[in-house]
A and B are shown apart, each in its own frame.
Chain A
Amino acid sequence: METDLIIVSEYCQQSRIEPSFIALLETEGLIDIRIIEGTRYLHYSQLCDVERYFRMYYDLSINIEGIDAIRHLLKRMESLQRELSSLRNRLRFHENSASYLEYPEEDCF
């Protein structure tokens, strides 16, 4: 069995997250639960998302549909930020390439 899995009920107990919240995330397709021999597991890589959704749901009072929409927007934002960073690097390249010698005004005729 993979070692990067945690039993959902144990995780809920240790992190004080209600199992119904995990079930809600699963129902709405925000996380994937693995079932092995009848036991429900979460992959470690999803814990960061679960805890982020938890904060949005309880601390910011955002419902699950809202969280799903935010999730998409954050992905889009991440992609745009990458694009922005790449464009900034290109701009820097062109700015650095466009260096001119100052030409004295009296020499223009």
Chain B
Amino acid sequence: MAYIDYYKVLGVDKGASQEDIRKAFKKLARKHHPDLNPNDPDAKRRFQEINEANEVLGDPEKRKKYDQYGEHWQHADQFEAQQQYRQQYGGAGGGAYWSSSGGSFSGDEGEFSDFFESLFGSRGGHRSGRSAGFRGQDFNAELQLSLRDAAQTHKQVLTVNGKKIRITIPAGVENGQTIKLGGQGAPSINGGPAGDLYLTFVIPDDPVFKRLGNDLYVDAPLPLYTAVLGGEQVIDTLSGKVKLKVKPETQNGTKVRLKGKGFPVYKQEGQSGDLIVTWRVEIPTHLTEKQQELFRELQRIG
């Protein structure tokens, strides 16, 4: 457990007045507050550090104790200090309150560092609240889906904070897309509505199909003889195999577009993008003497 220099966190001198500390805290809080930096875990972590520093330095009693034991906290009689602290601060009262419970914080308790807890004990029960937040907390979660799973509407059971939630994922969700599941966050402690669950989809690359919006791209092998003479070739699509006609003299890299064989359009049932097939002409290998002779013949007459 490392010592935390709360003065450094707030960017103030050790001799800073309470007013200086308050101003430094407000300035940094306006920069890093999660409400002003949605979906930014770095800002959230930084705000928690600032908040913890203010909890200590913003309270003259805690600040005195921190100044006294701070750097040598491991030599202090922690047990006695905690006992004294509890007697002194038990019940309501305490430092500044930041109403994080209704915001995007993952939890109100346990956000402070081990260093803080070792010096001041658990903060539970000694912070006063100006507003407890009527709604339950919102939760944020990530869900990894394969491209093929994302292509079909399906049900999944998620476990979020120990609670099982059954959800239906509509076909066509995109990598990085976030959906809101109303009322699936934490229950309210004040009889209000539960918070919401924000679910972000992570869809890794598929080894076969590449997605661009609602269109899919696939490279398909084409035997040289079919490319030269034309014919039929079976290719894979997301919904199964299809047989394609190949024109004679098809060049390597030729693209063909198959309407409606791409990715389903999100929340537009029955609609899909296109599948763009790029022919990759395969040059035959391990030729026999006879085959090599025929190619030479072609070369001569070509």
A48-B138, A51-B102 known, 11 other contacts, Cβ within 8 Å? A16-B130, A44-B193, A51-B131, A55-B102, A59-B98, A60-B30, A74-B36, A85-B176, A89-B175, A92-B205, A93-B211
Task: For the complex of A and B, list the 9 residue pairs with the smallest distance between their C-beta atoms, beginning with the closest.
Answer: A85-B176, A15-B134, A51-B102, A93-B212, A16-B131, A47-B135, A44-B193, A14-B190, A52-B35
Closest chain A residue, CB of each to CB of B38: A74
B54 to chain A, nearest CB (A): 11
Given contacts A14-B191, A44-B193, A47-B193, contact A55 B35 (CB under 8 A): yes
Interface string of B5-45 (1 = CB under 8 A from A): 00000000000000000000010011001011011000000
Closest chain A residue, CB of each to CB of B97: A59
Are A14's CB and B99's CB within 8 A? no
Are A97's CB and B217's CB within 8 A? yes
Contacts of A70 in B (CB 8 A): 36
Closest chain A residue, CB of each to CB of B35: A52
> Is A17 an interface residue, CB under 8 A from the partner?
yes
Q: How far is the CA of A15 from the CA of B210 in the complex (A)?
A: 49
Q: How far is the CA of A6 from the CA of B229 in the complex (A)?
A: 74
Please tell me the size bucket of the interface on A. Answer: 20 to 34
Contacts of A59 in B (CB 8 A): 29, 33, 98-99
Contact residues, A7-60 vs B (CB, 8 A): 11, 14-17, 44, 47-48, 51-52, 54-56, 58-60
Contact among B26, B175, B210 for A60, CB-based, below 8 A? B26
Q: How far is the CA of A85 from the CA of B201 in the complex (A)?
A: 12
Interchain Cβ contacts under 8 Å between A and B, 15 examples? A14-B191, A14-B192, A15-B132, A16-B129, A47-B135, A47-B192, A51-B99, A51-B131, A51-B134, A52-B35, A52-B102, A54-B131, A58-B130, A59-B29, A60-B30
Q: How far is the CA of A19 from the CA of B193 in the complex (A)?
A: 19
> Is B84 an interface residue, CB under 8 A from the partner?
no
Contact among A11, A47, A55 for B103, CB-based, below 8 A? A55
> Is A61 an interface residue, CB under 8 A from the partner?
yes
Contact residues, A89-109 vs B (CB, 8 A): 89-90, 92-93, 96-97
Contacts of A48 in B (CB 8 A): 102, 135, 138, 196
Contacts of B55 in A (CB 8 A): none
> Is B223 an interface residue, CB under 8 A from the partner?
no
Q: How far is the CA of A26 from the CA of B151 in the complex (A)?
A: 43
Chain B count of residues within 8 A CB distance of the other chain: 35
Are B210's CB and A93's CB within 8 A? yes
Given contacts A16-B130, A96-B205, contact A60 B33 (CB under 8 A): yes
Closest chain A residue, CB of each to CB of B193: A44
> Is A64 an interface residue, CB under 8 A from the partner?
no
> Is B177 an interface residue, CB under 8 A from the partner?
yes
Closest chain A residue, CB of each to CB of B26: A61
Are B174's CB and A89's CB within 8 A? yes
> Is A72 an interface residue, CB under 8 A from the partner?
no
Interface string of B173-207 (1 = CB under 8 A from A): 01111000000000000111100100000000100
> Is A79 an interface residue, CB under 8 A from the partner?
no
B228 to chain A, nearest CB (A): 23
> Is B133 an interface residue, CB under 8 A from the partner?
yes
Q: How far is the CA of A74 from the CA of B38 in the complex (A)?
A: 8
Contacts of A81 in B (CB 8 A): 39
Contact among A15, A88, A90 for B212, CB-based, below 8 A? A90
Given contacts A85-B176, A85-B177, contact A60 B190 (CB under 8 A): no
